[in-house]
Structure 1
Amino acid sequence: MSNFKYQMLIQWSEEDNCFLVGFPDFPGQRWRTHGNTYEKAVKNGIEALESLIMAYEATNETLPEPTVNKAA
């Protein structure tokens, strides 16, 4: 899984009182998981990304191209 270069967006939600985690390169629901701490959100995000990739592979769906930013 470490070869995949997908963005993971982590944002605090006052409404939910936790950090929300999303993957902008994947269409669909905006937020995939969450965590009460930033560290837990990262851990849950990695697990969610791995599950998301496995689901794509299980259904033979083509993975989206990751957005890659190049340093100047």
Structure 2
Amino acid sequence: MEDYIKYEMIIYWSKEDDAFIVEVPELPGGVADGKTYEEAIKNALVVIREWIETAKELGREIPEPKGRLLYA
């Protein structure tokens, strides 16, 4: 399994945006959206891949996926 799939994603509905929002807390600025749940996840995976590619190009550290960060 690709490492980028292992990052925690927080998914919620935004009435204001009329879309699902996906946040990737371990990657600063890692946010995506979509009109459907599935589209939002797909877009988030693109954002994660691009975030990692950009970090590599810039020589920046890439956080290891830690899984669930907070507990309810």
Alignment of 1:1-72 (within 5 A): 2-4=2-4, 5-27=6-28, 29=29, 32-69=31-68
Contact 2:33 2:44 in 1 (8 A): yes
> How many equivalent pairs are there?
67
Letter in 2 for 1:16: D
Query: Unaligned 5+ residue runs, structure 1?
Result: none
TM-score (norm 1): 0.79
Letter in 1 for 2:2: S
Q: Tell me how far 1:21 sits from its aligned partner.
A: 1.2
Question: More helix by proportion, 1 or 2?
Answer: 2
Contact 2:21 2:32 in 1 (8 A): yes
Counting aligned pairs with the same residue, the percent is: 36
Query: Unaligned 5+ residue runs, structure 2?
Result: none
CA deviations on 1:38-62 (whole Å, 9 max, x unpaired) are 0100111111110011011110101
- d(CA) in 1 for partners of 2:42, 2:27: 18
- d(CA) in 1 for partners of 2:3, 2:45: 13
Cα root mean square deviation, aligned: 1.8
